[in-house]
Structure 1
């Protein structure tokens, strides 16, 4: 087993995980408030980096980027003027984190306006009113980031074998899931929405195209252990009983998704290939049962320094008319 895949104990760090989740929501909502809408809320996500989770540039003031540095355990902001500001990630309250973040954005020349209410969490308390003390377990956060780097690597490789519309590999701060999504290219039925603490129009816009999606949760969302998930929308007939790999994967009736416990991947002789088997088999079940045009949409996995062989439409045959070609 590679040490790139650390052990994760959600119940042992769930209070820190919950706090980090809310801090990511605060910064994510700031990004959401200042960036033009991009399909399926892609304008609001975070990206895994070798040191943490980054926002990418936010068009506010001189241009601002926020990094959760999960190695040095700092929130770091940089701006187009070359200025840098930061504060420690440590035991605190959500309200105190929010106040420090507002001060950081102001110092960088931005306008720290954003919605004050958490999304997709039970019994949401406005950030500015959440004064409950929260722990910060640096070692657990480090292991979580280490796992995310490994997962991001496999998700990215999986993404290279699809020629159709595909999402980036990105972290949604609503449910705290790292995800990658493939699209059939067809419209989907209107989603029923009704997701707690999430506006219906956001949910319906997110699912207005047919998708096969996979992701990773550190825990929560109806489970008390870290796990990978996969689902299709709309769910094609026979999907929930489709054979998927590896053997530890199963259909979760309560979540209506395939699940694969992280511990199985972490303990596998080749964790990368165990996770890839789950990604590929759940996608193939969705694509085959949903009658996707797989020949048009797929290609081999990408490799460094090797250009994908083109698969363009054939040129029409030359014809001769009155001696002119």
Structure 2
């Protein structure tokens, strides 16, 4: 298991196989990445328009699915709908609780066209939707209806990116399971196009200063209202993307902490630790490589911030033991992670 105390990493060994970790250089799909980023913003804003508010903007995010990215269930009137990017068949699917649905083909098309097709499909399904149709956290922020600049779509690159997300989501969920305190889902934030998971100390944080391009400061203040150690995967920060980890507020000495593996480094301009995806892909045991990074950077944040680790951490295997009179029907056979 991952040790709860100290800095020595004792993490589960993975399969030892590099299978499932595709090579995808950022420079080879930057046009497609930027177009897809804006498409996910449109779909994320649709979810935000209908979902009830949750702390830290958890109601606006997307989630990794076996096929790509999904909104999960979105309430509407007395029913519901969902939207899913299927990166295998390259369509955006919309499904409703009354059995109706629509699909939009994903291909080389401008953001303006995708925006119009998506809102038209919702109208045909009777889902009246109004969004603030300007992207966030990018500069320049071209209104969606006027964006004919971003129009790239490489099917193979998107399929490989989906495979990267599957791996990142799988391992971050393993890491998430060791925390009993307040912890976010593993979720895709479309503002920065990053897959993220946040652990909280339980204490409030100083107001975030903001300063993110085309994103109001009060948005960041809500997102970082409480002390957090956050990690995730981002299709940037390395030749093939990167795993990242940071803390807010950043505790004294965090940037100079000893973290693992040796491929990881602190980027002072970004204010976070990065582990290049390519280093993970080439590692003898990619799973172990990632989990060592996530755990060691979390320890740096938690120890530096004097978190109550004993109260906040847990053993996800605590119910996977032979049943006794206290556990009984709670016996859950099988491994909790790759063995």
Over 3 Å counting, the alpha-carbon distance change for 1:129 and 1:228 in structure 2 is same
- 1:323 maps to which residue? none
Distance 2:180 2:323 in 1: 11
Shift of 1:196: 1.1
Match of 1:231 in 2: 246
Give yes or no for contact 1:249–1:260 (8 Å, CA) kept in 2.
yes
Q: Is the 8 Å Cα contact of residues 120 and 198 (structure 1) preserved in structure 2? A: yes
1:93-132 correspondence runs (5 A): 93-132=110-149
1:155–1:169: 8 Å Cα contact kept in structure 2? yes
Contact 2:92 2:103 in 1 (8 A): yes
Q: Is 4-13 or 58-67 further displaced after alignment?
A: 58-67
Gaps of at least 5 residues in structure 1 are: 310-325
Q: 1:133 to 1:45 in 2, by over 3 A?
A: closer
Higher relative contact order (CA closer than 8 Å, sequence separation 6+): 2
Aligned to 2:272: 257
Q: Hey, what's the Cα distance between the residues in 2 that align with 1:307 and 1:73?
A: 45
* 1:153-232 correspondence runs (5 A): 153-219=170-236, 225-232=240-247
Partner of 2:8: none
Given the alignment of the two structures, is residue 29 of structure 1 paired with residue 45 of structure 2, yes or no? yes
| Root-mean-square deviation (Å) | 1.8
Inter-partner Cα distance in structure 2 for 1:59 and 1:94: 26
Shift of residue 4, structure 1, vs aligned partner: 1.0
The aligned length equals 307
Tell me the distance in 2 between the aligned counterparts of 1:6 and 1:163: 32
Do the aligned partners of 1:157 and 1:302 also contact (CA within 8 Å) in 2? no
CA distance in 2, matches of 1:127, 1:308: 56
Map residues 10-159 of structure 1 onto 2, 5 A cutoff: 10-61=26-77, 62-132=79-149, 134-159=151-176
What is the TM-score when the length of structure 2 is the normalising length?
A: 0.87
Matches of 1:307 and 1:249, distance apart in 2: 39
**SS at structure 2 position matched to 1:59:** strand
Shift of residue 111 of structure 1? 1.0
Contact 1:68–1:74 (8 Å) recurs in 2: yes
1:190 Cα deviation after fit: 1.0
Alignment deviations for residues 267-308 of structure 1 (CA, whole Å, 9 cap, x no partner): 111111100000000000100111000000001244895599
1:252 to 1:303, Cα distance in 2 relative to 1, 3 A? same
Q: Distance in 1 between matches of 2:185 and 2:102?
A: 28
- Contact 2:47–2:74 (CA<8 Å) still a contact in 1? yes
TM-score of the superposition, structure 1-length normalised?
Answer: 0.91
Distance 1:303 1:148, change over 3 A: farther
On the 8 A contact 2:239/2:278 being kept in 1, the answer is: no
Partner-residue secondary structure (3-state), 1:25 = helix
Q: Is the alpha carbon distance of 1:296 and 1:55 closer, same or farther for their aligned partners in structure 2, counting shifts above 3 Å? A: same
Match of 1:3 among 19, 38, 41: 19
Q: Does the 8 Å CA contact 1:228/1:260 hold for their aligned counterparts?
A: yes
Establish whether residue 292 from structure 1 lines up as the match of residue 302 from structure 2.
no
